Structure 1
Amino acid sequence: MTDYHEEQNAELEALESIFCEELQFLSREPVAEFSITLKSEHYDEEDASKGAIVALRFSFTPTYPDEPPEMTVDNLDGLIVGEDEESSLMEYLEGQAQDNLGMVMIFTLASAALEWLNQRCDQKINHREEEEKRKEQEREEEEHRRFEGTRVTVETFMKWKLAFDEEILRSKKVKKEDTSSKKLTGRELFIQDKTMNESDLKFLEEGGEGVKVDESLFENLDELDLDDLEESEDA
């Protein structure tokens, strides 16, 4: 018959020698309850952006290690925070506990948690560095475009030409509207109205029969010196 209590005490002694500063007992009887604080590889208390820290709480059950210990995340801080991260860590540890049933497993679980912590931190740091590189590349490309100017392609030229043609049409339309709304002088009206050029002729053609000419007014035309008249007009 397995003496679970004796097996658990033996494991606790080993854990105290391994995690001298990281292990803290919350109670020993009737069951052992303790926490182990784990820090990622590059954790810095003064700069939380470089790593993460987690405190795991364990409680032995009466038949541990034939059943998993009770586990909770007391604290997860630094580069990795949030309920989603805590849930992900707990799910990972529960899987590890099931794989190690029948064997003392606290050291194994703590080592698995530390590995998970380091991997998560590396992912966060890599993502942050990639994002910084992307932003820096965008800044460089923007600076290059500002220096070089915009390259002309078929697409950009056609887009420009369409806008240019539309602007020309608008200008012509506005000019036409301004011209049509302008009040014309009598001379401009006369020039524009072609019918006025033929008004006298039409008058004579249509009403010429009713027009009487006094021929006596023209009896002395032969006596006029037309040459002198032309010279005076030329002068």
Structure 2
Amino acid sequence: MSSAIEEEKEILESIYPDEFKCLDERTFQITQTIDPEESNCSDPPSVIFIATLSDEYPNEIPEMKIRISPPHRWLGEEQMKCLREVVHQNAEECLGMAMVFSLCSILKEEVNTILCKQCEKEEKEIEDRQNREIELENAKFQGTPVTVESFMKWKKDFDIWRDEEIRKENEEKLREALNSTSNSNVKKSILEKKLTGRQLFERNMVKVDDSEDYD
């Protein structure tokens, strides 16, 4: 083990007394717990950073691995790729100096940022879904906007319905008028003229004395 690696190990052990674990003389593991308030996440995972240092360290970037425990729905492959890129970029900027602590710090910061953004995104999706449900519910009571085309179609259908209702009503009145008398002359007059109910009433032909003879 080189002096640079030994020195890095001592630094990490002092900074992370509970989080640091030496997997072998060159490979170090740091497990950081994500704070719910900092990440705006009610069930944040832990982020594990594993670095294997070569004899050229710190003039050579360590072999690095990032793991999430337990796996989290807001930290999928796309987010993990982003984390790896950010950490690698910072490792390049830190060449020539002890860097594991800096990389762990930037990693934790990025995880917090991603979790906050994912939380905001999920809350926005829930809010949008609730608003759509409210709009659909309100639409039931607001009806369909009226246009010239929709009004003309409605009027055409209404006129057909109204004419049919009038026809049925007149037929019913005619039937009642015919049934109200047995006088053949009255029935003949009704059928010939097809008087409306109002005309029958005005002419006193709806109720006719059956005993009256017009022959």
* TM tier, smaller: 0.5 to 0.7
**Offset at 1:131?**
1.6
| Residue type of the alignment partner of 2:151 | K
Q: What percentage of aligned pairs have identical amino acids?
A: 23
SS of the equivalent of 2:142 reads coil
**2:148 equivalent in structure 1:** 158
Is 1:6 the counterpart of 2:37? The answer is no
**1:122 equivalent in structure 2:** 116
Q: 5+ unaligned residues in a row in structure 1: which ranges?
A: 172-234
Q: Distance in 2 between matches of 1:75 and 1:37?
A: 9
Matched-pair contact (CA < 8 Å) for 1:52–1:121: no
CA RMSD of aligned residues (A): 3.2
Q: Distance in 1 between matches of 2:124 and 2:90?
A: 32
**1:208 equivalent in structure 2:** none
Summarize the Cα distance change of 1:162–1:67 in structure 2 as closer, same or farther, 3 Å threshold. farther
**2:18 equivalent in structure 1:** 21
**Offset at 1:126?**
0.8
Q: Distance in 1 between matches of 2:64 and 2:55?
A: 15
Matched-pair contact (CA < 8 Å) for 2:79–2:114: no
Which string of whole-angstrom CA distances, capped at 9 and with x for unpartnered residues, describes residues 144-185 of structure 1?
444xx22664xx3334225436647998xxxxxxxxxxxxxx
Question: Greater relative contact order: 1 or 2 (C-alpha under 8 angstroms, separation 6 or more)?
Answer: 2
| Residue type of the alignment partner of 2:91 | A
Q: Distance in 1 between matches of 2:61 and 2:156?
A: 76
Summarize the Cα distance change of 1:151–1:125 in structure 2 as closer, same or farther, 3 Å threshold. same
| Residue type of the alignment partner of 2:23 | L
SS of the equivalent of 2:61 reads coil
**2:53 equivalent in structure 1:** 60
Is 1:99 the counterpart of 2:89? The answer is no
Aligned residues: 162
**Offset at 1:85?**
2.0
Question: 31, 42, 50: which one pairs with 2:36?
Answer: 42
Summarize the Cα distance change of 1:72–1:170 in structure 2 as closer, same or farther, 3 Å threshold. farther
**Offset at 1:132?**
1.8
Matched-pair contact (CA < 8 Å) for 1:52–1:80: no
**Offset at 1:123?**
0.4
Q: Distance in 2 between matches of 1:130 and 1:8?
A: 46
Q: 5+ unaligned residues in a row in structure 2: which ranges?
A: 162-214
**Offset at 1:40?**
2.1
Q: Distance in 2 between matches of 1:34 and 1:162?
A: 79
**1:51 equivalent in structure 2:** 44
SS of the equivalent of 2:97 reads coil
Q: Distance in 2 between matches of 1:159 and 1:105?
A: 72
| Residue type of the alignment partner of 1:9 | E
Question: Is the radius of gyration larger for structure 1 or structure 2?
Answer: 1
1:137-176 pair list within 5 angstroms: 137-146=131-140, 149-150=141-142, 153=145, 156-164=146-154, 167=157
**2:81 equivalent in structure 1:** 87
User: Which TM-score applies when normalising by structure 2?
Assistant: 0.64
Q: Distance in 2 between matches of 1:42 and 1:145?
A: 40
| Residue type of the alignment partner of 1:150 | Q
| Residue type of the alignment partner of 1:33 | T
Q: Distance in 2 between matches of 1:133 and 1:16?
A: 45
Matched-pair contact (CA < 8 Å) for 1:56–1:75: no
